[in-house]
Structure 1
Amino acid sequence: MQIAIVYKDDHKAYCLAQKIGDELSSRGSSSSILGFYQVAEDNCPPADLVMVLGGDGTLLKTARCYAYRGTPILGVNMGTVGFLSSIEPYQLMECLDDLLNWEFSLEERIMIEVSLKRGERELFSGLAVNDAVVRTNTSHTILLTLQVNGKHYTNYLGDGVICATPTGSTAYSYSAGGPILDAALPALVITPICPQLSGARALVVCSSKQIDLELRSDYSAFLSLDGAEDVEIQRGDRVLINQSSLVTRLVQLNNVKHSSEVAAQTIYKRGMMRVQ
């Protein structure tokens, strides 16, 4: 079995990656070890399984890079929260037998394809697991028009707009007041960021529909995917968002608590801390 190990760039994660690589070798499996800044779309070693030792940022980048291969990804939480992780570092060694014997389930998460257009010219395109965000680059509000399947829906005046997948609904969108979507739901949530009008609310639409956001302000803005890239947007530029045919395949071990349960409990605990 060939396993790729991607670790966040800190000493603890690096040491664990080396330890797991040695253990896999002793069990007759081979491994490739890459740091966060090494993994890229053109540098994804072939693998039957990818282990990600890090937080959600490391997993999101790895998922985008391996999307075209469809390789299962196991998240090992070495970040702050780790909503997308399946296990904690101390559980990894005891779970190796299950992983090598393919005794786990796979949870498919939808991804979105995002295209930035200026007239008929495509300036940028990319994949996202969590979200696509259009946000102001200044202290001024920006005006964005929203079309759903080619029909005008509303205008958003504020700091920007988030279009999140169910996976991303527990991230930036949630912080901006959006709802949490079940991970299996074929839907997208469009959440305004600091809207000027109090009546502006998040919108949930079927993921098969095309989302079209157009910048109607002179102030500059940025497009980012999963918080990892910033592409400048000018007045009249359009951001087109569609569900991708690709999915992120997350490993879920049968004897470990489901990641969505962990996410829900974490959000609940945060809310209780605020009350106290």
Structure 2
Amino acid sequence: MKTYPIGTPGTPWGEAERAEWRALQRRQRSYEADVLIVIERLRSRFDVQKYGELNYGDERYPLMAIRSRDWRDELPVVLVTGGVHGYETSGVHGALQFVEQHAADYAGRVNLLVSPCVSPWAFERIHRWNANAVDPNRSFRQNSPAEESAALLQLMAPVRERVLLHIDLHETTDTDETEFRPALAARDGQPFEPCGIPDGFYLVDDSESPQPGFQQAVIEAVEKVTHIAPADDNGEIIGSPVVAKGVIQYPLTELGLCAGITSARYKTTTEVYPDSPNATPEQCNAAQVAAVCAAMDYALAHR
């Protein structure tokens, strides 16, 4: 099997290997053009908050959140996050598209908080990790090694107990198998074990507090937009048992995943498959939007 080009097989990376990896990363798109300009356009209808700033070398990335203008303490909080993994494009564009097209429908019913691009350095480089080769989506814990994760945790601290719903928008891509999982194995000095990529949309529920009715409501809405990933021959998706159509479970908080950062009754991580021959970028964005709307509708109806 081909080995990853950085590091020595079986030996975890040190700073030299991380620096070598970082030097290979190239800016391929613009956080300012694709995200910040869209957020600026929303200022006329929503409050916009800078909740942190990343400083990587001479590059500065403001971390931005969009908030309901009619914020009222007696209303439940809904959190929508995207771009925790910067390469997962529809999570970012889907979150922004939801705000532009549908957020106003929930005015006066919820306090909406949207962080559409949690990891902007990685967004520009179409990568999973931040500049220090750290995965933000395994780093949502106290004393986080990822600044992106620590900033979001700090943003949510005052309201984390009041969150009714948190939906975290992700993708599973072919490059998970060709680049990101091999890189992870090399970084950690572990052998790479192929897992396979599911063809279709699926959800990750919280194994510590599952909400099967909620998850299925989201699946049913998304199925009108794009296809749902089937279980493999082992009854699994990416190595986890399928507990219902298009649904697997992880212990979200234990693993340091973004969807586990609040006390929300309703939590889910979406996984869109953009590399399917049966899905377009527009469908992928629309699937994320449909998931957010269905999640909000269910949560509000079953408070």
TM-score, shorter chain, exceeding 0.5: no
Q: Which has the higher strand share?
A: 1
Q: Which has the higher helix share?
A: 2
> Given the two structures, how large is their TM-score scaled by the length of structure 2?
0.28
